[in-house]
Amino acid sequence: MTRRPYIVGNWKMHGTRAMLSEARAIDRAAQRHMKVEVALAPPFTLIHPIHREAEQISVGAQDCHQAEGGAFTGDISATMVADAGAKFVILGHSERRQGHAETDALVRAKAEAALTAGLRIIMCCGENIATRESGSAVAFVRKQLEASLPAPDDALTDVAERITIAYEPIWAIGTGTAATADDIGEMHAEIRRLLIELYGEEQGGEARIIYGGSVKPENAAEIFAVPDVGGALVGGASLTADSFMGIALAAGEPSDL
Catalytic residues: 93, 168
**Interacting positions 39-58 with ligand PGA (CB under 6 A):** none
Q: CA-based Rg of the chain, rounded to a whole angstrom?
A: 17
Burial per residue of 235-244, b for 16 or more beta-carbon CB atoms within 10 angstroms, e otherwise: bbbbbebebb
Nearest residue relative to ligand PGA (C-beta):
235
Q: For ligand PGA, what does the binding mask look like between residues 203 and 232, x meaning CB under 6 A? A: ---------xxxx-----------------
Question: Who contacts 71 (Cβ-Cβ below 8 Å, separation ≥6)?
Answer: none
DSSP 53-95: H-SS-EEEES--BSSSSSS-TT--BHHHHHHTT--EEEES-HH
Length in residues, the chain: 257
Residue 236 or 252: the one with the smaller Cβ distance to ligand PGA is 236
Closest CB 26 distance from ligand PGA, rounded Å: 15
123: left (phi over 0), alpha (psi -120 to 50) or beta: beta
Distance of alpha carbon 190 from the chain centroid: 18
Residue 26 or 234: the one with the smaller Cβ distance to ligand PGA is 234
User: Of 36, 235, 244, 245, which lies in the binding site for ligand PGA, with binding defined by CB under 6 A?
Assistant: 235
CB 58 within 8 A of CB 231: no
Closest CB 78 distance from ligand PGA, rounded Å: 20
Find residue 120's DSSP bridge partners: 88
Q: Is 236 among the residues that bind ligand PGA (CB under 6 A)? A: yes
**Interacting positions 142-201 with ligand PGA (CB under 6 A):** 168, 173-174
Residue 49 or 217: the one with the smaller Cβ distance to ligand PGA is 217
Residue 191 or 234: the one with the smaller Cβ distance to ligand PGA is 234
By the criterion CB under 6 A, which residues form the site for ligand PGA?
A: 10, 168, 173-174, 212-215, 233-237
